[in-house]
Amino acid sequence: MQHGSQPGSPTQTVHRVVRILKAFDGRRTLGIAELAACTDVPRSSVHRIVRALVEEQLLTQDADSRRYELSLGLAEFGAGILRSNAVRTASRPTVLETRSRTHESVHLGVLDHLDVVIIDTADSHYFVREVTFPGQRLPAHAISTGKVLLAHQTAAWQRRHLENARLPAFTAHTVVDPERLLAELGQVRAQGYAISLGELEEGVGGVAAPVFAREWGIAAAVSVGAPMDRFNQHREELIAAVCDAGRAATAALLRVSWA
């Protein structure tokens, strides 16, 4: 028990999970008895925690030896954090420049299954504006950022995640039919940008373009959002600005050294 956590409390469980994961440092495989001995966690608790970590694809079990090792899922989890931070850092100047150019709110998002996670924003200086915040999760099918990110996934990924998906409606304009969405994603990929008109929130328009990285393909999407009246009035300017932003952020990301 650590940090004053109470037996059986969620805090104690978190500490035990961390101790079990750290036990693999420098060791390729471990069994339940070894984990219990080196973590000072009761064997029954180790077994329960390890089983959950296997289900969450953070540990794997060898079918023959029945021993456990860290999975690639854990490495991908860490890589995802590094990737988001790298994309945000490289793209930040472009986000700010695009806000200055358009005077509208600019967002940078990455895909997490069928959600977009916002990793950077620059809010419009207008009193009436679209507002998001870093860490916010938004439904990918209902926003321009998400449509760009979905459009640049492989056909196999799209079929697996979208063909039978239940897509919730947020307004009368939300695309909820998977086949219609897949057709729209093909158009988005071909034209290089996506537009969303009141699909998540009535009266808000958005346009987004992809940000690519050599290692990962599409790394993020950058978008500009505005109240519908301003969006429609300046639509062509906003499309041009966000496509320029996608290219600029891509160039900045490709210059990053991953050494």
Domain match, 88 and 105 both: yes
Torsion over CA: 132, 135, 137, 138 (sign): positive
Mean pLDDT confidence for 118-131: 80
Interval 48-98: pLDDT, tens: 999 999 988 888 888 888 899 888 666 556 656 655 688 899 999 999 999
Is 3 contained in some domain? no
β-partners of residue 105 are 225
Tokens linked to 37:
């001995």
Instruction: Specify the CATH number for the domain of residue 33.
Output: 1.10.10.10
pLDDT at position 56 is: 85
**82 vs 203 pLDDT, higher one:** 203
Quick one: pLDDT band at residue 25, thresholds 50, 70, 90?
Answer: confident
Residue 5 domain-assigned (yes or no): no
Mean pLDDT, residues 167-172: 96
Average pLDDT, integer, range 127-145 = 82
Q: If phi over 0 gives left and psi between -120 and 50 gives alpha, with beta otherwise, what is residue 207?
A: beta
pLDDT at 70: 84
| Predicted confidence (pLDDT) at residue 24 exceeds the cutoff of 80 | yes
4 within a domain of the structure (yes/no): no
Mark whether 32 and 84 lie in a shared domain: no
Flag the least confident range among 9-18, 46-55, 75-84, 137-146: 75-84
Do 55 and 118 fall within a single domain?
Answer: no
Mean pLDDT of the chain: 88
pLDDT, tens digit, for every residue of 228-254? 999 999 999 999 999 999 999 999 988
Quick count: other Cβ atoms within 10 Å of Cβ 84?
20
205 within 8 A of 228, measured Cβ to Cβ:
yes
Answer yes or no: do 162 and 37 share one domain.
no
What span, in angstroms and rounded, lies between the C-alpha atoms of 237 and 104? 11
Q: Does any domain span residue 106?
A: yes
Task: Give the start-end residues of each E strand in the chain.
Answer: 59-61, 68-70, 105-112, 115-122, 137-139, 194-197, 204-213, 217-227
**110 and 177 assigned to the same domain:** yes
pLDDT at position 93, please?
A: 96
Position 164 confidence tier, pLDDT thresholds 50, 70, 90: confident
Same domain? 95 vs 211: yes
What CATH code is carried by the domain that includes residue 135?
3.30.450.40
Q: Quick check: is 97 in a domain?
A: yes
Distance in angstroms (rounded) separating the CA atoms of residues 174 and 238: 21
58 and 96 belong to one structural domain: no
Dihedral of alpha carbons 64, 34, 29, 76, sign? positive
CB 73 within 8 A of CB 57: yes
**Predicted structure pTM score:** 0.69
Same domain, 104 and 64: no
What's the confidence (pLDDT) of residue 80?
Answer: 60
DSSP 29: -
* Any domain includes 162: yes
Residues 25 and 136 grouped into a single domain? no
Where does residue 194 fall: left (phi above 0), alpha (psi -120 to 50 degrees), or beta otherwise?
beta
Which residues span the domain enclosing 159? 79-255
**Does 57 share its domain with 103?**
no
Decide if pLDDT at 2 tops 60: no
> Do 140 and 235 reside in the same domain of the chain?
yes
Torsion of CA 123, 126, 127, 131, to 10 degrees: -30
pLDDT (mean) for 190-217: 93
Report the domain count for the chain.
2
Q: Among candidates 78, 76, 134, 73, which has minimal Cα distance to 109? A: 134
Asked if 24 and 48 sit in the same domain, the reply is yes
The identity of residue 237, as a single letter, is E
Helices and strands, number each (H, E), in the chain: 9, 8
